[in-house]
Copies of this chain bind each other. A is one copy, B any other.
């Protein structure tokens, strides 16, 4: 199984997800500062989700770069990952519109958590197909596992105070923002 088309399809889905998110930024009805300010929470969630999806695209790019063989099961694991990522625009819009209210913030965390799990499952599938270069590059993927645990913790914490959950989301994003070195160095 060649990985070319898996990459092309994934890139297409990533490109559409990351771009349609901007459709949630609806042009305000006025043209003054007051109208502009109402955009702020929506804009902030857009930035957060853009970074989040950028990290996934980047990691996906590196993972596939180190992959040689792809099984049928990996194709489905990849579709499964894209499914959860495709829910990001919806949860982003819901959270932004409700100014980071508790439930949308928790649901946002749940989608991030499921995306993280789906990524780990895809990783597992690729390792099972005997991609030795990938195995060397990844090591234990401690970072991936810590992220999943943090997202899981953020879900109930959103009901204690939303800011705790939001801080966790920003923290995990910062943790990943320079992730490339890991695989880059070893190749």
A residues at B contact (CB < 8 Å):
1-2, 5-9, 11-20, 22-25, 27-28, 30-33, 36, 47, 50, 54, 57-58, 61, 64-65, 71-73, 75-76, 79, 82-83, 86-87, 89-90, 93-94, 97-98, 101-104, 107, 177-178, 180-181, 184
Contact = CB atoms under 8 A, between A and B. Distances in A.
Given A31-B101, A72-B178, 19 more contacts: A2-B65, A5-B61, A8-B8, A8-B11, A9-B14, A9-B57, A13-B18, A15-B15, A16-B16, A17-B19, A18-B86, A25-B90, A27-B90, A27-B94, A31-B103, A32-B103, A57-B79, A58-B76, A73-B180
B20 A9 contact: no
17 contacts: A2-B65, A5-B7, A9-B15, A12-B14, A12-B16, A13-B18, A13-B19, A15-B15, A23-B89, A28-B94, A30-B98, A31-B94, A47-B83, A54-B79, A58-B75, A58-B79, A72-B184
